[in-house]
Amino acid sequence: MVSKPDFLERMRAARAELNEAISGLSDAHMSQDIIAGEAWAVRDILAHIAAWQIETLRSIERTEHGQDTGPLINESESEWNARRVAERRQLPLVDVMQEFHQAHDELLAALDRWPSDTVPLGPAGWDETAQLWWLTDHDREHLDVINAYRQRLSEAESQ
C-alpha cells in the first residue's frame, strides 16, 4: 500500500520532471502553440495544471471545514479546461508561472496537513484507489508533448 509520504513524493517527483522539461524555454517558446488542433502553448498546459490543482485545493478546504464538496467540476472536462485556460491567457506569463508554482505548493501543504490514516475526498488509502491519485501523474501526462516540442525546437535550431 502506498503511504501518504509516498503519495506526496510522487507529486513532487512529477513536478520536478515537469520543471526540468520547461527549464530554459524563452517567454516566446512558452507562449507558442504546440498542440495541434488545440492551440495550446506550454503556458496553457501550466495554466491547466494550476487550475486543476486550485480546484482540488478548494475541494479539500471545503472538506476540512465539514462542507459538502460535490463533484470537482460541474461541466465536461473539455469545457472546463477550455474555460480555465482562456481565463489565464489574459495574464502575463509571470503570473501564470506564479500560479503554477503557488497552486502546487499550497496543494502539497494541504495534503501534508491531512491525517495520514485518511485521504481527502476518499476512499481510505493513499494508493491508486484514492480519488486524488490522478494528482500523482497529472504533471507527467503533459511531459511527452512538451519534450516533443523541445525536440522540434532543438532540431530547428540545428538546421
DSSP 46-60: HHHHHHHHHHHHHHH
What pLDDT was estimated at residue 37?
63
Write out pLDDT tens, residues 39-48. 899 999 999 9
What tens digit of pLDDT does each residue of 66-113 get?
A: 888 777 888 899 999 999 999 999 999 999 999 999 999 999 999 999
In this prediction, residue 36 carries a pLDDT of: 61
Q: What gap in Å lies between CA 154 and CA 56, rounded to an integer?
A: 35
pLDDT at 122: 78
Question: What number is the average pLDDT over the span 30-55?
Answer: 90
Per-residue pLDDT, 99: 98
Three-state DSSP at 131 gives: coil
Q: Which domains does the chain have, with CATH numbers?
A: 4-158 (1.20.120.450)
DSSP string, 30-43: HHSEEETTTTEEHH
pTM of this structure: 0.93
Q: What is the mean pLDDT of the chain?
A: 92
Q: Residue 123 above 80 pLDDT?
A: no
Q: What is the pLDDT of residue 139?
A: 95
The predicted pLDDT at position 111 comes to 95
Phi (first) and psi of residue 137, to 5 degrees: -120, -10
> 56-77, pLDDT tens digit by residue?
999 999 988 988 877 788 889 9
